[in-house]
Structure 1
């Protein structure tokens, strides 16, 4: 077969174009640090990269979920700790008041402090994380303890009032007067408490059945029924962790009933030391409930910490595998690029020798 000058020139140009393409690929790997930039360059690497990247993203999402879990549990532990301190102080005051040497005025001062501590425990029951109540089950938008001064959009008919150890349930609403009446046990024949509001839903006063004024700090307004459902967050594939605390174990209605009953006993001038001492066992029971719940939360925190460590290890492993699949070996790429440059220079030199001089070269 006759090989012409044009065939040699065309082959030389084709080889040079292929050399340019190889150099272009190597330069792209060097600048991006990746083996491929298009799926068509290596479909196997591309599909594996999608799978590995999806796994890494899932692990990172679980890590963000664990951060949210820690936020909930840290807030829960803090609230339970402060509630425990308040209840311990109530017990100290109860022991102190049981001393027969205390006079009526001194007991009244102790009762006032117990009332303030009760309000503090109520504040802990309303603890929030990112605007969500952590002691009301899955009903995170509703406060378990309502501030009567600022009920907001909450329906007072869904709440009950605790005062002096008695529980007042809603019995009547006078919409025209904006009044909400509650009776002991929900029986209209028993004692009553009425909340009176103005047209802008601001609390005007609280009165009993005889029209006598009641201090807002002497009552506790709580939900009639407690939501005990768990708020769960997925921390691993198929593993959901309950992040909230069961309010039935801590801030149940019985707690506030017993606290207000203690305050009433301390204010009763006819109450004896033994009657006050009887409240100690009740306070101990509530303290134990809070401490036990806090211990349960602590046990879950330990498990979450182990899950967090495992996720960290999985993330490192997943990123290593993804790097091996996608990232270019820079040392190897640099060596190949230098070698290809030498090959390209040799191809240019040989091409210059293959292409014979033309008439134009002689006329220069």
Structure 2
């Protein structure tokens, strides 16, 4: 087989250029620390890297969402804790005020403090996030959740819940409607509320309790006395059930009906009546404000004083319902924070797994690359030396 000098020279140059290209690629790999420099190096691996990169970006977004969710939930939990502290302070003041040793003036001072606590509670309900949004207004996050009006307190938000995706299969509610939180509690003992009309002239003090299986209805307990010196009788009538019970009143004796017990002490007058109504929902601001208004109003008769005592006793029950409700909401938020913490740990593990897979495909084995660089450098030198020798084998050089 005949090989021309030009072909020999070209093969030598091609060999040198090929070795230089291989050496250059290895140098670039060492400089970048990457095994794949372009998709053409390994199309299948490049496609896998694109998929892993997309999964990592999505996981990083979940991490950002989780951080935002944690901030929102911790803020909400802090507000609920502060609101509970306010209610606990109101409860302590009510117990202090519901003491016969207090005067109208001292009760008015307590009422003034409770009035300020109602304002503090309203401010807590209108807490804003770092972005300036009202956290309890639902989707109407640029509107205050609650406002004070001439007739009470109004909710200005909606029932919207803010949700954040913290993993592929987990969405967490990070904001709740203030209507559920601050208007979700019931009055009285949670089942019934004792009502003492202002028209009563007696000075009886009442305590009410009910069982969980008490029959729901609106009851009226009426006392009557045919003539002075005659026994005082009572009758219990239900709005739906009609006549329920009758009997002779004895101070300190319990009146029991339909799962409800009334402990009555003191003097009742002919025509005095008390209502036992089914508990209704009332926003906590209105409940606290009603207590303040009651204490700011002086009482000058025994009938008014007993009504105040009875109403304050019911107010304690209402506050207990509010505290229990807020604690329940705190528990819900705490459970979400626990779920979020577990989800964050899983996201970290998932991110590490993805980074490990990317590293296995893309990262360079430096020991192997350095060894290969040495071999390729030697191969290039050999190709260059071979070319120099072949270049000197020309016939013209021999004849010369």
TM-score under structure 1 normalisation?
0.76
Q: 1:337 aligns with which of 328, 350, 373?
A: 373
Which residue of structure 1 lines up, in the alignment, with residue 154 of structure 2? 222
What is the CA-CA distance between 1:357 and the residue it aligns to? 5.9
Q: 1:269 aligns with which of 286, 294, 298?
A: 298
User: CA-to-partner distance for each residue in 1:341-360, whole Å, 9 max, x for gaps?
Assistant: 01111111222212216699
Q: 1-side partners of 2:112 and 2:181: how far apart?
A: 23
| Contact 2:155 2:179 survives alignment (8 Å) | no
Which residue of structure 2 lines up, in the alignment, with residue 254 of structure 1? 283
CA 1:360–1:91: 2 relative to 1, 3 Å: farther
Tell me the C-alpha RMSD between the 2 structures. Answer: 2.0
Which residue of structure 1 lines up, in the alignment, with residue 174 of structure 2? 243
Tell me, what secondary structure is at the counterpart of 1:235?
strand
What is the CA-CA distance between 1:141 and the residue it aligns to? 1.6
Q: 2-side partners of 1:289 and 1:161: how far apart?
A: 24
Which residue of structure 2 lines up, in the alignment, with residue 116 of structure 1? 116
Q: 1-side partners of 2:37 and 2:125: how far apart?
A: 55
Tell me, what secondary structure is at the counterpart of 2:95?
helix
Q: 1-side partners of 2:67 and 2:165: how far apart?
A: 11
Q: Quick check: 1:19 aligned with 2:19?
A: yes
Tell me, what secondary structure is at the counterpart of 2:175?
coil
User: CA-to-partner distance for each residue in 1:67-98, whole Å, 9 max, x for gaps?
Assistant: 01001100000000000000000000000000
Q: 1-side partners of 2:294 and 2:88: how far apart?
A: 18
Q: 1-side partners of 2:67 and 2:162: how far apart?
A: 15
Which residue of structure 2 lines up, in the alignment, with residue 135 of structure 1? 136
Tell me, what secondary structure is at the counterpart of 1:352?
helix
Q: 2-side partners of 1:116 and 1:313: how far apart?
A: 49
Higher Cα radius of gyration: 2
Q: 2-side partners of 1:122 and 1:87: how far apart?
A: 12
User: CA-to-partner distance for each residue in 1:257-308, whole Å, 9 max, x for gaps?
Assistant: 1111101110111153333222111111111111110011101110111000
What is the CA-CA distance between 1:99 and the residue it aligns to? 0.7
Q: Quick check: 1:312 aligned with 2:372?
A: no
Which residue of structure 2 lines up, in the alignment, with residue 302 of structure 1? 338
What is the CA-CA distance between 1:248 and the residue it aligns to? 2.9
Q: Structure 1: 5+ residue runs without aligned partners?
A: 147-159, 163-167, 169-219
What is the CA-CA distance between 1:139 and the residue it aligns to? 1.9
Q: Structure 2: 5+ residue runs without aligned partners?
A: 184-281
CA 1:290–1:95: 2 relative to 1, 3 Å: same
Q: Say which structure is richer in helix.
A: 1
